[in-house]
Structure formats: structure tokens, C-alpha cells
Structure 1
Amino acid sequence: MRAELGALRDKQFGVFTTAQARIEYTRAELRARLHRGDWVPVFHGVYREATAPEGPELRVEAARLSMGLPILIAAYDTAAELHGFSVTERNATHVLGVQLSRSKHLVVHRDRLDPGQVTSINGVSTTPATRTAIDLARTLNRMDALATLDAASRLGLSPDELSEELTHHHRRRGVRQAAELIDLVDGRAESPMESRTRLQCVDAGLPHPELQLEVPTPDGPRRLDISWPQYRIGLEYDSVAWHSGMHAAARDNTRHNHLATQGWTIFYATAQDVFHRPESFTEPIRQAINRALRTAHPHH
């Protein structure tokens, strides 16, 4: 890349406009680089080099240049990316503003934001962490919303801070959902899927579980993602294609064997289970809890 455009690119998180490129390149040269795939469109009239990583800083700056604004504020999922607690697959860049977007990959929210509510991360203006977490807790589906709140909590946001921020969202869409989920926030959840699995258990009416419980075994302590220690029942989220029930029982798993000798029953859930058939693990857990209660209180 020629020197002047390269200097502009470096000041703009790796992006540049058609007008900036035309200072040093002819229209034919610009077309040729696009045709070869050396340069890639980000938003209308804004490009990046094909080798440039398409992070949130680059995308927000591309949106700002495309919209011709002196400043642009990242929000919702894009703000969560910047803060480090995004849990959803990115399919759009989210910003605050009033202009209509020309791209389905750029979502402009017309939310009100006081000047004092803007913060900066890596030189990009964005909604603060608490505001971002509550915006997403209100608007995402319940499983993604709790996963977002847990991830934000893991990075240091407390339920009290989240509750305080929620008071500024009075009468906005999804406030009730956000309030309910703040009561379930637990920063000990180690992944978004653990959060989603836990919510399916709670929504199925199971007792609220313990997270990351360490159980002593002859090989040293073993940690359970989700557990009900009073019933010696554990639930592990398994990202590989294992399923609760007989598959789990057949696994040659030292941890499972040691826990089983101490009276623990361990269930497993996969992504398919969590998203599409939660009853495949919540119902066996419910039955196991009922059996444990009957054993503890045989005459009731």
C-alpha cells in the first residue's frame, strides 16, 4: 500500500474510504485491487485489506467513516465485544445514531445516551459495561441474556451495579426479563453454554444449583460444572457428542467412577440437548432428586 494511504489506514484501525484511496490510486487501480480480493468492502465506500483482522474497532471505525460522522458510539453486541463479554455469534455491527443504515450488517439504534455515559476502549467510543450488559439482558433471548450477564459478572460487574443500571431503563422493552435474570447471575459460570444449561434447569423448576463444586476423590478434587450437592447429583456440559443416560454411564471416565463410588449421579448435556431438548437432562435430574428425597424420607 502506498505511503499516504497506509498512514491513514494505520490511524483508522485498518480501514480507508474510496476518497482516501483515490488520493494515490486511480479508479482503475482501486477496481483491480477489489477484483483481486486484495481490498475488501466493510461498509459503503469503506474498505480494509484482506489480511486485516475484522475486529470491533475496525468495524466501528468503518461505520463511522461510511456514515461521515465525527464520532460514533458502539452499542449492544458490538459494545460487548469491546468490553470482552460478548457471547453471541457476530452477524452485525451495532452503533447508536439516527441515520438509517445502508447495510444489513450495520444496525443503528436510536437509543438515548447521556454524554457522561460514553466510555472509550482502545480508542473506540462505546456504551459503558453496565449499560451494555443491561441493553443485552433486555433484548437477547433468555439463554443468551443470562450468558451475557454471567460473562459480565465474571469480568467484575456486580448484581448491585446491574440492578442500579436497570433503574435507568424504566418502561423499556425487556426490563422484566433483565430483572429476573439479574437474580440468577453467577460469575462462576465458566462458559456461555454452562450459563444456558443452568437456565434450562432453573426454568424446568429444578432447585437452584451450585456451580464449580469441588468434590474430593482419591485422585484429588474433581470439579462439577453444575451440581445439587444435597442430593449428590451433578450435571456436566459436554461439548463433544456425548449424551446423558446410558452413554454417560458407559464412559470410561475416572472422575465419573470415583464420584459414583461416593454415591454421586452424574448427568451430561450437549448443545443439542440445551437448545432443543432440555427435558432430556432436566427430567432425569428431577427423577433423581425425587428418588433421593424418597430415600431420605421413606415414610413421607
Structure 2
Amino acid sequence: MRAQLEGLRDRQFGVFTAAQVLVEYTRAELRARLHRGEWVRVFHGVYREAGTHPGPELRVEAARLSMGLPVLVAAYNTAAELHGFSIAESNATHVLGVQLTRSKHLVVHQDRLDPTQVAMVNEVSTTTAARTAIDTARTSRRMDALATLDTATRVGLSLDELNHELARQHRRRGFRQAAELIDLVDGRAESPMESRTRLRCHDAGLPRPQPQLEVPTPDGPRRLDLGWSQYRIGLEYDSVAWHSGLHAAAKDNARHNHLATQGWTIFYATALDVLHQPQLFTEPIRQAINRRRVESKGR
């Protein structure tokens, strides 16, 4: 890459515009590099080198250059990526503005924004962490919304910050969903699927489980994804996939066997169960809880 364009690329998070290219290259050279796959189009009139990872900083800068704006604010899932609590895999870049776009890969939200709701992350303008979390919780599917809120609190947001931001958005679409889910937030969840599993338990009317419940065993503490210690019932999400392979799974099995001798019952849920047929694990857990309640009354 020629020197002037290389300098611009380095100052622009790895992207450059067609106009910047044409200062040092001919239009035929630009087309040739695109045809060979050396350069890749990000948004209209903006490119990156094929080996450059299209992270959120790059994509927001590409959107700013494509739209011809001095400043552009990242929002929703793209802002969540910047803040470190995105749980959604999306090809779209979300920003705030008034300019409409027909690209499915660049979504411009015409939201109002107070200056106090803007932050700088990695030299990129973005909605604050609290604004981002509530925006996402309002507009995502319920299971994804809770997973986002759990992850946001795990990386440092407090419930006070979330509630303060929620109050600022009390008339916006999805407010009720966000308000309901804040009461369920628990930053101890270690994966989005654990959050989704916990929400399925809540929706089934089960007592509130404790995430990452530690139970002592002779081989050391056994940590359950979710547990009801008063009933000696645990729930694991897809344990072989989420623990460290077959060796770890064998160790887990030994600990589960010990838990069984202590009166614990462990249930399992797969991704298919959580996403499409939660009754396959929530109903057995409900029945087990009811049995334990009856047993405790008979003592």
C-alpha cells in the first residue's frame, strides 16, 4: 500500500475511502485490487484490506466515512460489542443518526440522544454502557435481552445504573420488557445460554435458582450452572459441550455421582431444549421440587 493511503488507513481503524485511494491509485488499480480480493468493500465507497478484521471500531469508522459525517455514535448491538457485553452474532452495524440507508449491514436508528448518554470507547463514540444495555434489553428477544443484561452486569454495570437508565426511557418501546428483566438480572451467569435457561425456569413458574451454585464433594467443590440448594436439585446446561472436553466431563460425572449419594438430583438441558422445548427439563424439575416438598413435610 502506498505511503499516504497507508497513513490514512492507520488513522482510520483500518479503512479508507475510494476518494482517498484515487489520490494515489487509478480507478483501474482500485478495481483490480477489489477483483483480486486484496481489498474488501465495507460500506458504500469505503474499503479495508482483506486481512484486516472487521471489528466494531472499524465498522463504525467505515459507516462514518461512508455517510460523510464528522462524528458518528455507535448504538445497540454494535455499542454492546464495544463495551464488551454483546451476546448476539450480527452482521449489521448499528449507529445513531438521521440519514436513511438501504443496506441491511448498516442500520441507522433515529433515536434521541442526550449528551450525557455518549461515551468514548477505544476512541469511538458510542452510547454509554447503561444506555446500550437498556436499548438492547428493550428491543431484543426476551431470552437475548436477559442474557445481555446479565453479561453487562458481569463486566461491571450495576443494577443502580441500569435502573437509572431505565427510568430515563420509561415511555419507549419495550420498556416493560426491560423493567421485568432487570428484576431477574444476575451477573453470576457465565454464558448467554445459562441466562436463557434461567429465564425458562422463571417462565415455568419454578422457584428462583442460584447461578453457579457450589456444592462440596470429596474431590473438591462441584459447581452447578443452576441449583436449588433447599431441594438438592441442580440443572446443568449441556455439560459436555460447556466444560473442557471429555476428561472434564468424566470428572464432572464422578462429582455428580457423589452428589447423588448425598441426595442431589441433577438435570440437564441442551440448546434445543432451552430454545424450543423447555418443558423437557422444567417439568421434571417441577415434579422433583414437589416431591422434595412432600418429603420435607412428612419428616
**TM-score, length-scaled by structure 1:** 0.95
The CA deviation at 1:102 is: 3.2
Q: Distance in 1 between matches of 2:252 and 2:238?
A: 15
Residue 83 of structure 1: aligned partner: 83
Q: 1:228 to 1:252 in 2, by over 3 A?
A: closer
CA contact (8 A) 1:241 1:270 kept: no
Confirm or deny that 1:39 pairs with 2:28: no
Deviation at 1:206, TM superposition (A): 0.3
TM-score, length-scaled by structure 2: 0.95
DSSP-derived class of the 1:214 partner? strand
Equivalent in the alignment of 2:149: 149
The 1-side partners of 2:152 and 2:94 are apart by 18
After superposition, the C-alpha distances for 1:204-259 in whole angstroms (9 at most, x for unaligned) are 100000111111111111111100000000001116579xxxxxxx9981121111
**1:156 CA displacement:** 1.4
The letter for the 2-side match of 1:276 is H
Alignment of 1:1-300 (within 5 A): 1-238=1-238, 240=240, 253-298=253-298
The answer to whether the 8 A contact 1:159-1:183 is kept is no
Contact 1:240 1:270 in 2 (8 A): no
Cα separation, 2, equivalents of 1:260 and 1:289: 15
Question: SS at the partner of 1:253?
Answer: helix
Q: 1:247 matched to which residue of 2? A: none
Partners of 1:29 and 1:138 in 2: CA distance = 46
What amino acid maps onto 2:95 in structure 1? V
* Corresponding residue pairs, total: 292
- Unaligned runs of 5+ residues in structure 2 are 243-249
* Letter aligned with residue 207 of structure 1: P
Q: What percent identity do the matched residue pairs reach?
A: 78
1:245: which partner in 2? none
What is the DSSP-based 3-state SS (H/G/I as helix, E as strand, rest coil) of the residue aligned with 2:28? helix
* Aligned-partner residue type, residue 56 of structure 1: P
> Cα RMSD over matched residues?
1.6
C-alpha distance in 1, partners of 2:164/2:218?
Answer: 46
Where does the alignment leave 5 or more consecutive residues of structure 1 unmatched? 243-249
Which shows bigger deviation, 159-168 or 63-72?
159-168
CA distance in 2: counterparts of 1:107 and 1:222, whole angstroms: 44
